[in-house]
Structure 1
């Protein structure tokens, strides 16, 4: 049982709440903050502490975890009014939001001299957040990553140190590009098979027994798309944002990657068409409209 470290957890949404709860279960003292009173109350019901503000949560905390919508929001919360100075000198920020790598590097520069930064975005969705079996992609100095690892282990099953600060967020964007491209391929395959007269469930069954298997065919098509539940817990807008982050990173590095660009364009158009708040598995509806 771990009891020595006090953690500030900022962002108690669909992913953040179960992650923070797992830290409480692991024996950590966790002060949580969210703009939603309902989310704060749920966290208190799970044994956590409710802070009055992000700055109050950071005060006296050895580790600060951010699980927010993007890097700009993270910077506003931590740096605006120099709120990060409420944390003890040398405290560790685990930036677990889906942010752009350049935003993370900028954050690290802004708080340098007072705080250490490790970017540690996750993959696995709400179910694995609840189970504590997320995959973590981390970026940061070796010593900072080692210091973060016990905290990360309370929320995840697989932890990868990908390189210096920003590397974790770069890897997350790359991962979600591959994931989003897989959704496009799986949905188009099902729609193509259906147009020919094949049973949609049969198409997925064969793909999963063959070389066409991917994450979308395994854990999304039957469970959330063909079932009509569309409840994976990951918003379409967030998927579009992550893929666009990967596309922007590619451009900034002077690369020409047409597949990535086209994938980002499709997801952006789907978010505009359906709204970014819908579940990302609703991408099926978007592509179904395109084929007529």
Structure 2
């Protein structure tokens, strides 16, 4: 278990709670915190130690994991009133939220005299969080990423070292751009085929046996969309946010990526019309509703 014995887990929502539970069951002393009393109560039922105070949760911690909605909240939670100083000097901060890469670099500068920062966002959704088979995209020094592996390997099946601090969050936004574009393409494909007279299930089966196969056709169309369950566990607004991070990164690098821009705009519209809290697989409803010709 290397030198990490106590892990402070900040953010006990749908993703954070099973991740923290897996660390607890692996033998780490896990102290959880969430601003939501309901989330704290649910985590306590899982056998986790839960603190009502963030400062107490990270006090004397060897490793802080943040699993929060965005980088603004991470900075507010840790940097405000220098709360991060409660942790051991030299402790690891594993920033696993979906944050903007340049903001993550700023965070590293703010806390870097006290904490070693590795940004380590994940992909895989709630099901793989429960299984401990998430994919982790890590950014930081080689030494710090190596130090973090005893924790990361409990909650994931694959850990990719992507580069310096910020690289993990850059990779996460790129991944979700491709994922979100795939959901749109698969939804439009089904709309096109069914309008012609094909069966939706047949379309998906053929795509999955052919070169059109992607994550949306494999693990979303039949499981969450065609059966109208819309319960993948990942919000439409979060997907939109992540794609927006990729679009903003492209602009900051002076890149003119038209498909990324269009995908970003489409998910923003869907988030507004369908609702950001809706499951992201409801993009299918947005696509089908807006697919009729206006001419």
Q: Please report the TM-score for the alignment, with normalisation by the length of structure 1.
A: 0.98
Mapped contact 1:32–1:50 kept (Cα < 8 A): yes
- Paired residue secondary structure (2:98): coil
Mapped contact 2:2–2:147 kept (Cα < 8 A): no
Mapped contact 1:63–1:94 kept (Cα < 8 A): yes
The answer for unaligned runs of 5 or more in structure 1 is none
Residue 148 (structure 2) aligns with = 148
User: C-alpha offsets along residues 195-235 of structure 1, whole Å, 9 cap, x if unaligned?
Assistant: 10111111101101111000000000000000110000000
Residue 75 (structure 2) aligns with = 75
Residue 5 (structure 1) aligns with = 5
Mapped contact 2:182–2:216 kept (Cα < 8 A): yes
The Cα RMSD (Å) is: 1.1
Q: Does 1:206 align with 2:206?
A: yes
Q: Please report the TM-score for the alignment, with normalisation by the length of structure 2.
A: 0.97
Q: Does 1:112 align with 2:108?
A: no
Q: Does 1:226 align with 2:226?
A: yes
Mapped contact 1:67–1:96 kept (Cα < 8 A): yes
- Paired residue secondary structure (2:108): helix
1:36-47 equivalent positions in 2, closer than 5 A: 36-47=36-47
Mapped contact 1:162–1:171 kept (Cα < 8 A): yes
Residue 277 (structure 2) aligns with = 277
1:1-292 equivalent positions in 2, closer than 5 A: 5-292=5-292
Task: Give the whole-Å Cα distance in 2 for the aligned partners of 1:53 and 1:215.
Answer: 39
Task: Give the whole-Å Cα distance in 1 for the aligned partners of 2:32 and 2:53.
Answer: 9
Task: Give the whole-Å Cα distance in 2 for the aligned partners of 1:71 and 1:37.
Answer: 22
The answer for unaligned runs of 5 or more in structure 2 is none
The count of aligned residue pairs is 292
Task: Give the whole-Å Cα distance in 1 for the aligned partners of 2:290 and 2:90.
Answer: 52
After TM superposition, the runs of 4+ consecutive aligned structure 1 residues lying more than 3 A away are: 1-4
Question: How big is the shift at 1:3?
Answer: 9.5
Question: How big is the shift at 1:36?
Answer: 2.0
Answer with 280-289 or 30-39: which moved more: 30-39
Task: Give the whole-Å Cα distance in 2 for the aligned partners of 1:238 and 1:46.
Answer: 26
Question: How big is the shift at 1:29?
Answer: 0.4
Mapped contact 2:2–2:150 kept (Cα < 8 A): no
Task: Give the whole-Å Cα distance in 2 for the aligned partners of 1:238 and 1:266.
Answer: 14
- Paired residue secondary structure (2:290): helix
Question: How big is the shift at 1:2?
Answer: 8.2
